[in-house]
């Protein structure tokens, strides 16, 4: 791998940029691998990278049905934070956030991780009580959180409607200053390049069509590009978890729903933090290109269409304009939707499956992007050692029957409610 | 799927309706614990045709059975939930 550096950039500049190499190869699948990762999104590529880097596996393949980073990795709103309420999920996402903080250096690839702060606005006394409770829970576990007064919020986001007539009056906020955004494609590409450099075969346009299971144990995987023998598989296929699990003969506590997002035309810098709310479901940030990125609630019914209903966008736009009236002058550039793995407690599933040698990372609902490095690291650990790490141990498939769910929202076993 | 034909109200916007759960995941009152847990938590989650419970929440309030395709959003049938169903 040719390192990306100021020196190499300068040298290639003199050379007409003819010396750069492709960032990863396009190998033919081999007959067998030590481990196979299904799904070439950020999570899967990260898992392959950490399998090679931390666990020293030499022959690893990533199988991707389409192209890498083309699923939910390329369809999220790029928000990274760890300011959750439940200790188990706090620990998982804080572990991930710490990996984010060193990721560009680790991968020698600029993932544009920008710790611009992520805040939840409070619009009532009860909102502020909930936010203070969450802030206390975070600080008790060593994660940064600051409660802000309305004046502090107004100074940070001058465009917020702070008037007496505001539809959503701002009573304060809870900010995680280490939260922020990252460039979603760069995360997939950075992991792909670094994994490839360690010898990982990234095989695109390769759909998994079945498993070779002998005596309840994984012996291989069947794909559209031939059969591959392996005794360890990690599946990281959010949006298609149910289909891949069905190929292996089991069902999951997951429903596939849909989440939309949309962006405005690019404008000059106007919002330099990530804005969310305790009461309304609308999140606002501005990309490095200048587009205002907006997201909200899912569409609330099972679907694989990757195509949402317009009234949901209208709701999000209405809420965003109520918070920041200046947004009403922006034209929307494009909208899209991703298929989300909605689990039954709103928390992910990382661990073993009923099939020995097959491990799962999924059920991330619509919050998986922020976990990319951590989820990959933990899936790699689980695949390499055959057992979950203590950080992902609370997120096994068995937690549902055991009643040990990690229900961040406290809404019960309704996938659409999380 | 932007229109759903309610047996009482006719063609109505999907926004008036609320998805509840797949029909087969309604737990029988006499189910064993194992069956109840399995039914409560595990989903076939098909990419294709599925029978689902919906409710015309912002309309007549009726509970409905929809035969719906989860990838194309076609709705093949809408039926009222009969007594005892």
Are the Cβ atoms of B43 and A252 closer than 8 angstroms? yes
* Count of CB pairs separated by less than 8 Å, A with B: 62
State whether residue A7 is helix, strand or coil. Answer: helix
Are the Cβ atoms of B41 and A302 closer than 8 angstroms? no
How buried is residue A250: exposed, middle or buried, by Cβ count under 10 Å (0-12/13-18/19+)?
middle
What is the rounded distance in angstroms from the CA atom of residue A298 to the CA atom of residue A312? 8
The whole-number average pLDDT for the span A198-212 is 98
Say if A197 is an interface residue toward chain B (CB within 8 Å): no
Give the whole-number percent of chain A exceeding pLDDT 90. 95
pLDDT bucket at A413, cuts 50 / 70 / 90 = confident
Q: Radius of gyration (Cα) for chain B, nearest Å?
A: 14
Q: pLDDT tens digit string along A328-374?
A: 999 999 999 999 999 999 999 999 999 999 999 999 999 999 999 99
Contacts of B64 in chain A (CB under 8 A): none
Say if A329 is an interface residue toward chain B (CB within 8 Å): no
Sign of the torsion angle spanned by Cα atoms A54, A57, A62, A63: negative
List residues bridging with A79 in a β-sheet. Answer: A181
pLDDT bucket at A410, cuts 50 / 70 / 90 = confident
SS3 content of chain A, % helix, strand, coil (to 5): 30, 25, 45
Contact (Cβ atoms closer than 8 angstroms) between residue A64 and residue A342: no
Contacts of A242 in chain B (CB under 8 A): 43-47
Are the Cβ atoms of B41 and A303 closer than 8 angstroms? no
User: Does residue A38 carry a pLDDT above 60?
Assistant: yes
Contact (Cβ atoms closer than 8 angstroms) between residue A361 and residue A375: yes
What is the rounded distance in angstroms from the CA atom of residue A215 to the CA atom of residue A221? 15
Question: Strand A35-38 and strand A79-80: pairing?
Answer: unpaired
Helices (H), A102-159: 103-107, 125-140, 150-156
Contacts of A307 in chain B (CB under 8 A): 73
How is A358-404 classified by DSSP, letter by letter? Answer: EEEEE--BT--GGGHHHHHHHHHHHHHHSS--TTTGGGSTTHHHHT-
Q: pLDDT tens digit string along A227-244?
A: 999 999 999 999 999 999
The whole-number average pLDDT for the span A300-323 is 94
Shortest Cα–Cα distance, A257 to chain B (Å):
9
- Out of B15, B52, B71, the one facing A305 most closely (by C-beta) is B71
Q: What is the pLDDT of residue A282?
A: 93
Are the Cβ atoms of A252 and B47 closer than 8 angstroms? no
ipTM confidence score: 0.93
Across A378-388, b (16+ Cβ under 10 Å) vs e yields bbbbbbbeeeb
Give me the residue label for tokens 């076993």.
Answer: A413
Chain mean pLDDT for chain A = 96
User: Does residue A314 carry a pLDDT above 60?
Assistant: yes
The whole-number average pLDDT for the span B33-60 is 95
| Structure tokens, A190 | 């950075």
SS3 content of chain B, % helix, strand, coil (to 5): 20, 40, 40
Across B8-38, b (16+ Cβ under 10 Å) vs e yields eeeebebbebebbbbeebeeeeeeeeeeebb
Say if A344 is an interface residue toward chain B (CB within 8 Å): yes
Say if A18 is an interface residue toward chain B (CB within 8 Å): no
List residues bridging with B3 in a β-sheet. Answer: B13
Cα distances (angstroms) measured from residue A316 to each of A1, B3, B16: 43, 21, 17
Q: For helices A125-140 and A87-101, what crossing angle results, to 10°?
A: 70
pLDDT bucket at A78, cuts 50 / 70 / 90 = very high
Q: What is the pLDDT of residue A316?
A: 95
Contacts of A303 (CB under 8 A, 6+ apart): A256, A257, A258, A339, B70, B71, B73
Say if A318 is an interface residue toward chain B (CB within 8 Å): no
pLDDT bucket at B85, cuts 50 / 70 / 90 = low
Residue A375 dihedral angles phi and psi, to the nearest 5°: -65, -40
Q: Which residue of B has its CA nearest to A310?
A: B2
Helices (H), A141-218: 150-156, 184-197
Q: What is the pLDDT of residue A170?
A: 97
- Out of B14, B19, B47, the one facing A243 most closely (by C-beta) is B47
User: Does residue B84 carry a pLDDT above 60?
Assistant: no
| Structure tokens, A201 | 């075969």
Contacts of B22 in chain A (CB under 8 A): 302
Q: In angstroms, how far apart are the furthest CA atoms of chain B?
A: 40
Any idea how long chain A is?
A: 418
What is the rounded distance in angstroms from the CA atom of residue A378 to the CA atom of residue A54? 11
How buried is residue A334: exposed, middle or buried, by Cβ count under 10 Å (0-12/13-18/19+)?
exposed
Are the Cβ atoms of A401 and B42 closer than 8 angstroms? no
- Out of B15, B41, B46, the one facing A253 most closely (by C-beta) is B41
Contact (Cβ atoms closer than 8 angstroms) between residue A118 and residue A174: no
Q: pLDDT tens digit string along A277-297?
A: 999 999 999 999 999 999 999
Neighbours of A328 (CB within 10 A): 11
**Chain B residue set in contact with A, beta carbons under 8 Å:** 2, 13-15, 18-19, 21-22, 37, 40-47, 50, 52, 70-73
């Amino acid at each position: 791998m040719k390192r990306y550096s100021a020196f190499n950039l300068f040298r290639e500049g003199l050379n007409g940029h003819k010396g750069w190499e492709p960032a990863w190869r396009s190998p033919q699948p081999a007959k067998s691998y030590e481990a196979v990762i299904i799904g070439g999104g950020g999570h899967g590529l990260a898992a392959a990278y950490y399998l090679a880097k931390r666990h020293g596996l030499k022959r690893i393949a990533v199988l991707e049905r389409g192209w890498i980073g083309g699923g939910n990795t390329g369809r999220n709103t790029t928000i990274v934070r760890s300011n959750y309420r439940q200790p188990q999920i706090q620990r998982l996402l804080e572990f991930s956030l710490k990996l984010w903080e060193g990721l560009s250096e680790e991968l020698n690839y600029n993932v544009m991780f920008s710790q611009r702060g992520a805040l939840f606005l409070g619009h009532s006394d009860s909102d502020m009580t909930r936010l203070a409770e969450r802030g206390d829970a975070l600080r008790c576990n060593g994660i940064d959180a600051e409660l802000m007064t309305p004046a502090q919020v107004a100074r940070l986001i001058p465009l917020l409607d702070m008037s007496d007539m505001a539809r959503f009056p701002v009573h304060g906020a809870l900010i995680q200053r280490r939260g922020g955004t990252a460039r979603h494609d760069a995360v997939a590409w950075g992991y792909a390049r670094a994994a490839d450099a360690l010898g990982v075969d990234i095989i695109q346009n390769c759909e998994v069509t079945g498993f070779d299971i002998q005596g309840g144990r994984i012996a291989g995987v069947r794909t559209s590009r031939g059969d591959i023998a392996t005794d360890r598989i990690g599946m990281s296929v959010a949006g298609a978890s149910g289909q891949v699990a069905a190929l292996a003969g089991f069902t999951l506590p997951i429903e596939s729903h849909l989440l939309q997002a949309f962006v405005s035309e690019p404008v000059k810098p106007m919002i330099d933090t990530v804005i969310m709310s305790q009461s309304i479901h609308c999140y606002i940030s501005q990309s490095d290109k200048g587009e205002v990125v907006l997201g909200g609630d899912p569409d609330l019914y099972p679907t694989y269409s990757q195509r949402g209903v317009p009234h949901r966008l209208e709701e999000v736009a209405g809420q965003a304009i109520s918070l920041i009236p200046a947004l009403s002058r922006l034209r929307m550039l494009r909208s899209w939707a991703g298929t989300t793995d909605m689990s039954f407690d709103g928390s992910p599933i990382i661990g073993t499956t009923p099939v020995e040698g097959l491990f799962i990372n999924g059920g991330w609902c619509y919050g998986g992007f922020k976990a990319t490095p951590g989820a990959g690291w933990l899936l790699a650990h689980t695949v390499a050692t055959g057992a979950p790490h203590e950080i992902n141990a609370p997120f096994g498939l068995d937690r549902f029957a055991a009643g040990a769910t990690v229900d961040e929202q406290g809404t019960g076993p309704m996938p659409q409610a999380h | 799927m932007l229109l759903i034909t309610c047996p009482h109200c006719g063609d109505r916007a999907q926004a008036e309706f609320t998805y509840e759960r797949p029909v087969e995941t309604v737990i029988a009152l006499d189910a064993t614990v194992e069956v109840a847990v399995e039914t409560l938590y595990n989903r076939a989650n098909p990419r294709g045709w599925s029978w689902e419970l919906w409710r015309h929440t912002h309309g007549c309030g009726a509970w409905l059975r929809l035969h719906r395709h989860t990838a194309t959003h076609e709705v093949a049938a809408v039926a009222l939930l009969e007594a005892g169903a």
